[in-house]
Amino acid sequence: MKKVFGLAAALGLTTGLAACGGEEAVSEDGSVTIEFMHSQVEQERLAVITDLVEKFESEHPDIQVEQVPVEEDAYNTKVVTLASAGQLPEVLEVSQDFARVMAKDQLIDQEAVAAAIESVGADNFYDGALRLISNETGDGYLGLPISGWVQGIWYDKEALASKGFEEPETWDEVLAVAEAFTNPAEDQYGIALPTEESLFSEQAFSQFALSNNANVLNAEGELTINTPEMEAALAYYQELSQYTMPGSNGVTEVNDAFMNNTAPMAIYSTYILPGVFEQGNAENLGFAIPTNETSAVYGTVSALTITAGVEDAEREAAQEFVEFMAQPENMTEWVLMSPGGAQPVSDLVTESEAYQSNEVINAFGDLSTEIASSFEEIQIFGLVDGQNFLKAGDISSSGAIPKMVNSVTVGEQSVEEALAEAESAVKEVIQ
Amino acid sequence: MAMASSKKSKTTKKIFFYIGLLAVLGITLFPFFVMLMTSLKSSAEAISRTPTLLPQEWTLEHYRNVFDPVLFPFMMYFKNSFIVSLTAAAISVLFSIFGAYAVSKLKFKGRATINSGFYTVYMFSGLLLIVPLFRIISGLGLYNTLVALIITMVVQTLPASIFMLKSYFDTIPDDLEEAAMIDGLNRIQIIFYIIIPLSISGIISVFVYAFMIAWNDFLFASIFLSSSEKFTLPIGLTTLFSTPDYVWGQMMAASLLTALPVLILYGLSERFIKGGATEGGVKG
Amino acid sequence: MKRKAKERSNAKLAAALLLPSVFLILLLIIYPMLVNVRISFFEQSINPNIDPVFIGLENYISILTDLAFWQSLGITLLYTFLTVAGSTVLGLAIAILFNRPFAFRKVSRSLIIASYVAPTISLVFAWKYMFNSGYGVINYLTVDIFGLFETAPLWFDEPVLSFVIVVIFAIWRYFPYAFISFLAILQTVDRTLYEAAEIDGASAWDKFKVVTLPAIMPVLIIVATLRTIWTFYIFEDVYLLTNQVPVLGIYLYETAFAFNDLGKAAAISVILFVVLFSVIIISRKRVSLNGNG
Q: What is the pLDDT of residue C146?
A: 82
A310 neighbors A90 (Cβ within 8 angstroms) = yes
Tell me which DSSP letter residue A272 carries. G
| C129-148: pLDDT as tens digits | 998 877 888 888 888 888 78
Residue C291 sits at φ, ψ, to 5 deg, of: 90, 5
Q: Do B108 and C262 touch (CB under 8 A)?
A: no
The beta-carbon neighbor of A341 closest among B131, B226, B244 is B244
Q: Do A105 and C46 touch (CB under 8 A)?
A: yes
Q: Do A269 and B244 touch (CB under 8 A)?
A: yes
Q: Are strands A91-95 and A32-38 parallel, antiparallel or unpaired?
A: parallel
Beta-bridged to residue A266, according to DSSP, are A154, A192
* Chain C residue with the nearest C-alpha to that of A186: C134
| H or E, element range at A36 | strand A32-38
Beta-bridged to residue A183, according to DSSP, are A188
Whether the predicted pLDDT of C293 surpasses 50: no
CA–CA distance, B232 with B78 (Å, rounded to integer): 7
Tell me which DSSP letter residue A155 carries. E
Task: Report residue C244's pLDDT band, with 50, 70 and 90 as the boundaries.
Answer: confident
Spatial CB neighbours of C287, under 8 Å, sequence gap ≥ 6: C221, C293
Residue B145 Cα, gap to closest chain A Cα (Å): 13
CA–CA distance, A108 with A203 (Å, rounded to integer): 25
Spatial CB neighbours of B170, under 8 Å, sequence gap ≥ 6: B104, C218
Q: What single letter denotes the amino acid at residue B140? A: L
Q: How far is CA C237 from the centre of its chain?
A: 12
The string over A111-135, giving b where at least 16 C-beta atoms fall within 10 Å of a residue's C-beta and e elsewhere, is ebbbbbbeebeeebbbebbbbbbbb
Written as tens digits, the pLDDT of chain A (431 aa) is 344 333 444 444 444 444 444 444 445 567 899 999 999 988 889 999 999 999 999 999 999 999 999 988 899 899 999 999 999 999 999 998 889 889 989 999 999 999 999 999 999 899 889 999 998 888 899 999 999 999 999 999 999 999 999 999 899 999 999 999 999 988 899 999 999 988 999 999 999 999 999 999 999 989 999 999 999 999 999 999 999 999 889 998 999 999 999 999 999 999 999 989 988 999 999 999 999 999 999 999 999 999 999 999 999 999 999 999 999 999 999 999 989 999 999 989 998 999 999 999 999 988 988 898 888 888 999 999 878 888 888 898 888 999 999 999 998 899 999 999 999 999 988 87
Sign of the torsion formed by the C-alpha atoms of C101, C102, C103 and C105: negative
CA–CA distance, A62 with A317 (Å, rounded to integer): 9
**A150-299+375-430 placed in CATH 3.40.190.10:** yes
Whether the predicted pLDDT of B98 surpasses 80: yes
The Cβ of residue B110 has, within 10 Å, a number of other Cβ atoms equal to: 13
A400 neighbors A425 (Cβ within 8 angstroms) = yes
CA–CA distance, C126 with C118 (Å, rounded to integer): 11
Whether the predicted pLDDT of B201 surpasses 60: yes
Q: Are strands A191-192 and A265-269 parallel, antiparallel or unpaired?
A: parallel
Residue B160 Cα, gap to closest chain C Cα (Å): 7
Q: What structural domains does chain B harbor?
A: 2-62 (no CATH), 64-275 (1.10.3720.10)
CA–CA distance, A96 with A133 (Å, rounded to integer): 6
Residue C174 sits at φ, ψ, to 5 deg, of: -110, -5
A14 touches chain C (CB under 8 A): yes
Instruction: Return the minimum-mean-pLDDT range out of A201-210, B95-104, B191-200, C2-11.
Output: C2-11
Identify the CA nearest to A395 among candidates A162, A209, A157: A209
* Chain B residue with the nearest C-alpha to that of C187: B278
Identify the CA nearest to C117 among candidates B26, B257, B125: B257
Q: What is the pLDDT of residue A19?
A: 41
Q: What is the pLDDT of residue C242?
A: 86
Q: What is the pLDDT of residue A328?
A: 93
Identify the CA nearest to A215 among candidates A224, A207, A205: A224
Residue A320 sits at φ, ψ, to 5 deg, of: -55, -45
Higher pLDDT, A347 or C84: C84
Q: What is the pLDDT of residue B253?
A: 94
CATH code of the domain occupying A30-149+300-365: 3.40.190.10
Q: What is the pLDDT of residue C287?
A: 67
The beta-carbon neighbor of C29 closest among B155, B251, B255 is B155
Neighbours of A, requiring at least 3 CB pairs below 8 Å, are: B, C
Q: Do B38 and C117 touch (CB under 8 A)?
A: no
Q: What is the pLDDT of residue C250?
A: 92
**Chain C residues inside the 8 Å CB shell of A85:** 48
Q: End-to-end distance of chain B based on CA atoms, in angstroms? A: 37
The string over A146-161, giving b where at least 16 C-beta atoms fall within 10 Å of a residue's C-beta and e elsewhere, is bbbbbbbbbbbbebbe
| Mean pLDDT score across all residues of chain C | 88
**Chain A residues inside the 8 Å CB shell of C49:** 86, 106, 308-309
Spatial CB neighbours of B161, under 8 Å, sequence gap ≥ 6: B92, B93, B95, B96, B100, B206, B209, B210
A107 neighbors C45 (Cβ within 8 angstroms) = no
Whether the predicted pLDDT of B118 surpasses 50: yes
Q: Map out the domains of chain A as residue ranges.
A: 30-149+300-365, 150-299+375-430
A71 neighbors B235 (Cβ within 8 angstroms) = yes
Q: What is the pLDDT of residue A224?
A: 94
Q: What is the pLDDT of residue A27?
A: 53
The Cβ of residue C273 has, within 10 Å, a number of other Cβ atoms equal to: 18
Q: Select from B101, B115, B123 the residue whose CB has the most chain C CBs within 10 Å, as the one to mutate to test that interface.
A: B123
Q: Do B107 and C24 touch (CB under 8 A)?
A: no
**Chain A residues inside the 8 Å CB shell of C157:** 247-248, 406, 410-411
Instruction: Return the minimum-mean-pLDDT range out of A347-356, B214-223, B267-276, C200-209.
Output: B267-276
| B237-284: pLDDT as tens digits | 988 887 777 889 999 999 999 888 888 887 787 666 544 334 433 332
The beta-carbon neighbor of A397 closest among C30, C152, C259 is C259
A116 neighbors A326 (Cβ within 8 angstroms) = yes
Whether the predicted pLDDT of B199 surpasses 50: yes
Q: Select from C37, C188, C191 the residue whose CB has the most chain B CBs within 10 Å, as the one to mutate to test that interface.
A: C188
Q: What is the pLDDT of residue B280?
A: 35
- Domains A30-149+300-365 and A150-299+375-430 are alike in CATH topology: yes
Q: How far is CA A137 from the centre of its chain?
A: 21
**Chain A residues inside the 8 Å CB shell of B148:** none
**Chain A residues inside the 8 Å CB shell of B71:** 43-44
Task: Report residue B4's pLDDT band, with 50, 70 and 90 as the boundaries.
Answer: low
Whether the predicted pLDDT of B148 surpasses 50: yes
Instruction: Return the minimum-mean-pLDDT range out of A13-22, B226-235, C40-49.
Output: A13-22
C41-289: what CATH class? mainly alpha
A305 neighbors A102 (Cβ within 8 angstroms) = yes
The Cβ of residue A283 has, within 10 Å, a number of other Cβ atoms equal to: 12
Q: Do A271 and B245 touch (CB under 8 A)?
A: yes
* Chain A residue with the nearest C-alpha to that of C52: A84
Q: What is the pLDDT of residue B5?
A: 57
Q: Do A4 and B117 touch (CB under 8 A)?
A: yes
Q: Do C47 and A397 touch (CB under 8 A)?
A: no
Q: Map out the domains of chain C as residue ranges.
A: 41-289
Q: What is the pLDDT of residue A187?
A: 86
A252 touches chain C (CB under 8 A): yes
CA–CA distance, C69 with C84 (Å, rounded to integer): 22
In order, the DSSP letters of chain B are: -HHHHHHHHHHHHHHHHHHHHHHHHHHHHHHHHHHHHHHTS-HHHHT-SS--SS-SS---HHHHHHT-TTT--HHHHHHHHHHHHHHHHHHHHHHHHHHHHHHHH---TTHHHHHHHHHHHHTS-HHHHHHHHHHHHHHTT-TTSHHHHHHHHHHHHHHHHHHHHHHHHTTS-HHHHHHHHHTT--HHHHIIIIIHHHTHHHHHHHHHHHHHHHHH--HHHHHH--SGGG--HHHHHHHHHTSTT--HHHHHHHHHHHHHHHHHHHHHHHHHHHHS--SSS---
| ipTM for this model | 0.87
Beta-bridged to residue A378, according to DSSP, are A297
**Chain C residues inside the 8 Å CB shell of B218:** 119-121, 236
Please, how many CA atoms are within 13 Å of residue A2, restricted to the half-sphere of its CB?
A: 1
